[in-house]
Amino acid sequence: MLLMVSVQNMKEAKQALKGDADIIDVKNLQEALVGSAHPRLVKEVRDFVPEERHASVTLGVVPNQVGTVAMAVYSAGLLNATSVKVGFMQTEYATAVEILLASKEALIGTGTKLIGSLFADNGLYDGLDPHKMVALAKDGECDGFLIDTLTKDGRNLFDFMSEEILTDIVYQGKSMGISTALSGHLRLDNLDELARINPDIVGVRGAVCSKGERGNSVHWEAVSKFRNELNLRESGEIEVRNLKITSNGLHENGWIVIDGTGKSCASIILELTEQVGKDSKSFVEVIMPDVLNTYDVIVWAQKGGHKVISQRKETSGSVRILVQPG
């Protein structure tokens, strides 16, 4: 899982980067529910963040105006943001799709990814149903999606959507080959649930601010602690589910091998699906970069009627899974 930290200025961006955040997300918490940062700040952050890290832009809750949103998205592309998040609250589904499609068109010729976003607590505002997130991302031709929250009363993501529902939504997104992200006042004590759901990206702010208050500044030590706790779950040092992974097992010998090193879980699942679709007889061994992603392959196998023959953990921390297509 990548760690995304929301920042409001360059000082916070530097703190987030020092704490080993993977994505520096620029936003404006003072503008309405959540708003956009000034483009000059976005450019400053983008220029500061190394190419191997990500600098994203949050537009927040966008107006129901196709051209206005597309223009803002176009600006994010010109600024070379890694991604731009477009969020919807009180918007009709068809209008949200139209806005996303126009935004996608606005990004043609840039490397910026389009991320559609719904809020788990939209029901409090008579807003667009967050359970439609996967369908909206697909119809809007998004590169990924984010489920977040808007309320500031102490409740967080899991107060509005259950682990089971979020797991299913994230799995659907990965099966489509798009990135999946969860945010919304997430805390350290939510890490076990997050690890079981295993989105591609976990977004935080309050949990990595001084004294755990989102109104305070981001502090690198808090970022580092959150990052380390994520790492412990990815490596399997902190077990969040009872996976039986053996240290010995079968070895490569004539079957198809899919090396997931350096790949997102979504792309691995997509590659697996394509492989068994064109060849339903050959065994497939997939190399997963960490323990958490192993569960996604097991779920994929169960849903597709395939059989997991063996699992073995390498000294590098990666896990090899041998699958017999059903």
The last residue of one of the domains, among 180, 203, 235, is 235
Joined together, the tokens standing for residue 318 give 């990666």
The answer to whether residues 186 and 294 belong to one domain is no
- The CATH number covering residue 103 comes to 3.20.20.380
The answer to whether residues 71 and 204 belong to one domain is yes
The answer to whether residues 113 and 210 belong to one domain is yes
d(CA 55, CA 29): 17
Among 11, 14, 18, 27, which one carries the catalytic annotation?
27
The answer to whether residues 210 and 305 belong to one domain is no
- The CATH number covering residue 267 comes to 3.30.110.40
User: First vs last Cα of the chain: how many Å apart?
Assistant: 29
Q: Is residue 135 part of a domain?
A: yes
The answer to whether residues 152 and 269 belong to one domain is no
Q: What is the pLDDT of residue 262?
A: 85
Catalytic site includes residue 281 = no
pLDDT in tens, 255-264: 888 998 888 8
Its domain, for residue 314, covers 256-324
The answer to whether residues 180 and 43 belong to one domain is yes
Q: Burial level of 18, CB count in 10 A (0-12/13-18/19+)?
A: middle
The answer to whether residues 206 and 58 belong to one domain is yes
Among 85, 113, 174, 313, which one carries the catalytic annotation?
85
Catalytic site includes residue 27 = yes
d(CA 233, CA 188): 12
d(CA 67, CA 142): 17
Q: What is the pLDDT of residue 41?
A: 96
The answer to whether residues 169 and 296 belong to one domain is no
Q: Is residue 248 part of a domain?
A: no
pLDDT in tens, 27-73: 998 876 678 999 999 999 999 999 889 999 999 999 999 999 999 99
Q: Is residue 129 part of a domain?
A: yes
The answer to whether residues 211 and 302 belong to one domain is no
pLDDT in tens, the chain (326 residues): 999 999 999 999 999 999 999 999 999 988 766 789 999 999 999 999 998 899 999 999 999 999 999 999 999 999 999 999 999 999 999 999 999 999 999 999 999 999 999 999 999 999 999 999 999 999 999 999 999 999 888 899 999 999 999 999 999 999 999 999 999 999 999 999 999 999 999 999 999 998 777 778 999 999 999 999 999 998 888 888 765 544 333 344 458 889 988 888 888 998 899 999 988 888 898 998 888 888 888 889 988 999 988 888 887 888 889 899 98
The answer to whether residues 149 and 23 belong to one domain is yes
Smallest CA-to-CA distance from 275 within 261, 262, 289, 260 is with 260
Q: Is residue 240 part of a domain?
A: no
Q: How many domains does the chain have?
A: 2
The answer to whether residues 316 and 180 belong to one domain is no
The answer to whether residues 260 and 171 belong to one domain is no
Q: Is residue 219 part of a domain?
A: yes
